[in-house]
Amino acid sequence: MNATGGLIARIRELERAARPLEPDSRERHALHEAVAGHAEAFLDRLSAVPAFEANAAPARDLAGHRPSEGPAALEELLDLFRRAVEDTGLKASSPGHVAYIPGGGLYASALGDYLAAVTNEYAGVRFAGPGAVEMENLLLRWMAGLAGYPAGAHGNLTSGGSIANLIAVVTAREAHGLRCADIPRAVVYLTAQAHHSLEKALRIAGLGECVRHRVAVDAGQRMVPEALQRAIADDRAAGLRPWLVLSAAGSTDVGAIDPLKRIGRITAAEGLWYHVDAAYGGFFLLCREVRERLGGLELSDSLVMDPHKSLFLPYGIGAVLVRDGEQLARAHHYHADYMQDAVANSPAADSPADLSPELSKHFRGPRLWLPLLLYGVAPFRACLEEKLCLTRYFHERVRSLGFEVGPEPELTVSTYRWLPQRGDADAFNEALVRSIQQDGRVFVSSTRIGGRYYLRLAVLGFRTHLETIDLTLEVLAEKVAKLETSGDF
């Protein structure tokens, strides 16, 4: 055998060894059936099992099955996945998840992801994936239209709200030409309600040394425009450089919507970049009663909304929109020699690679496109309105149970606390949250308002209906009675 013959033999041998990576149609069918069956079993028991499982020990079972040279049986792997992953911690897709900002997990979205992964379309550059890029841009134009942005707006489907906020902050930095020397004098305006991902974004974007000006909030935890106006004037007088306003359309803590219109008028007059974090609240634009309070969103320079929150999608999709799409491109455009043919054939800077830090990326379009077109917008609107009503219902009922309540819910977050007959209220409510989390039937969380400990109910799971809210009230009454009797807090 000559050298080439030897090489060919080796190639054939390797091809055979790699053969398991290419299952044939019969093998694919069997794999698919097993995984789909497993998913069905998960969904079947979802409403019957606890929303939270405190025992995390089974997660360690994963360590007993490290990657090795040989194969493992699919049944064994699926069983391990159930024990170690599905049955530990928080079940984000459970109806009883009424903490943080609940997750969704529309089934049609999972199927969209399946299509994206099987076809593995390249969604980074228009030349390679004209349909894929067009689909994502169409979804972004739909969101821009909801927000009232003009035709020149552009955006990017990100992995979530945090990255979307980061992209917006970087765009704002570039648009205002902030250089190193400017940073210690550049002022960022935000309230105590601002999501921590914004602080993180500033630091990652090299803006950690910017001046933060915490603007006062009203009783509903909304930014006070007069306070913002004063702060800007004071800072200018002190020789600082007012630069960026970070406002919230639905704060995570209490669902507060800042007075967007009035803030927008100030930022326009003062020449500041206006960013609205609507990761949680943005899609409530679909609901007539909230839409009005979101008026002014169209005045922002950039905004963020999270389909994996208020459109009930599985985790892994956020969106950033920039009113002047050119600014987004200017901050993220790149050139690489090895990409020259692809770039030459994608003339307009409207590919995700030109508008985000990513190049090769998850094709996120189908996970949103499929459910949105398959069902239409109407059921999404109805589901959001149902959550608004459920929250109002809970807020009323929890008040009549004797809880002290926080601000009237603007969206789908209700805050409340029990004032015990004796002892420290904060300690009591902390113990209350612990006992509910241990119980697991529903999963609630907590926050602090004005330094005081409050429980928090956030209703956003598409599987969360009236029964779960009634169950939450039942669990609350039961645990309060127990703690009052035992005094164990």
Ligand X SMILES: *Cc1c(COP(=O)(O)O)cnc(C)c1O
Answer yes or no whether residue 318 interacts with ligand X by CB under 6 A.
yes
Question: For residues 399 and 288, what is the distance between their CA atoms, to the nearest angstrom?
Answer: 26
- Across 239-356, the runs of DSSP E, i.e. the strands, are 241-248, 273-277, 302-305, 318-322
Least gap, CB of 319 to ligand X (angstroms): 10
CB nearer to ligand X: give 93 or 346: 93
Give the span between the Cα atoms of 252 and 271, in whole angstroms: 28
Give min distance, CB of 426 to ligand X, in A.
24
Which residue, 162 or 191, is less far from ligand X as judged by CB? 162
CA 263-264-267 angle, to 5 degrees, is: 85
Under the criterion CB under 6 A, does residue 300 sit at the interface with ligand X?
no
Q: Which of 95, 102, 105, 160 binds ligand X (CB under 6 A)?
A: 160
Give the nearer residue to ligand X in terms of CB position, either 87 or 199. Answer: 199
Q: Nearest approach, Cβ of 114 to ligand X (angstroms)?
A: 22
Spatial contact of 368 and 311, defined as CB atoms under 8 Å apart: yes
> Considering beta carbons, is residue 458 or 469 the nearer one to ligand X?
458
Least separation in angstroms between CB 318 and ligand X: 5
Structure-block tokens of residue 366:
């189908």
* Nearest residue to the partner ligand X, using Cβ: 161
By CB under 6 A, tell whether 252 contacts ligand X: yes
**Could you tell me the two tokens for 478?**
């039961």
The residue among 252 and 327 lying less far from ligand X, judged by its C-beta, is 252
What are 268's two structure tokens? Answer: 């326009």
Task: Report, in Å, the least distance between residue 198 CB and ligand X.
Answer: 7
Strand partners, 245: 189, 274
Cα atoms in the 13 Å half-sphere on the side-chain side of 434: 10
Q: Of these, 94, 197, 310, 445, which contacts ligand X (CB under 6 A)?
A: 197
Residue in 84, 224, 263, 279 binding ligand X, rule: CB under 6 A = 279
Per DSSP, the three-state class of 183 is helix
Q: Among residues 467, 484, 466, which one has the least CA distance to residue 402?
A: 484
Q: C-alpha angle with apex 140: 131 to 108, nearest 5 degrees?
A: 70
**In this structure, what DSSP letter does residue 249 have?**
B
- Counting residues that bind ligand X (by CB under 6 A) gives 14
Residue (86 or 277) nearer to ligand X, CB: 277
Measured from the CB atom, is 130 or 220 closer to ligand X?
220
Q: Which of 277, 350, 354, 358 binds ligand X (CB under 6 A)?
A: 277
Least distance to ligand X from the beta carbon of 195, Å? 3
| 52, β-bridge pairs | 90
Kindly tell me which residue out of 38, 91, 195, 332 binds ligand X, with binding defined by CB under 6 A.
195
Strand runs (DSSP E) across 68-191, as ranges?
89-90, 154-158, 186-190
Among 6-14, 121-129, 205-213, 273-281, the segment contacting ligand X (CB under 6 A)? 273-281
The residues facing 320 across adjacent strands are: 156, 304
CA distances from 43 to 61, 301, 368, 434, 473 (A): 23, 41, 20, 27, 25
Q: Shortest gap between Cβ of 252 and ligand X (angstroms)?
A: 4
306 is a site residue for ligand X (CB under 6 A): yes
Which residue in 137, 156, 162, 391 binds ligand X (CB under 6 A)? Answer: 162
Closest CB 248 distance from ligand X, rounded Å: 6
Q: Which is nearer to ligand X, 283 or 380 (CB)?
A: 283
Closest CA relative to residue 165, chosen from 349, 283, 341, 302: 302
Query: In this complex, which beta carbon is closest to ligand X, that of residue 132 or of residue 169?
Result: 169
From residue 310, how far is each of 13, 322, 339, 390 by CA, in Å? 51, 20, 37, 15
By the criterion CB under 6 A, which residues form the site for ligand X?
101, 160-162, 165, 195, 197, 248, 252, 277, 279-280, 306, 318
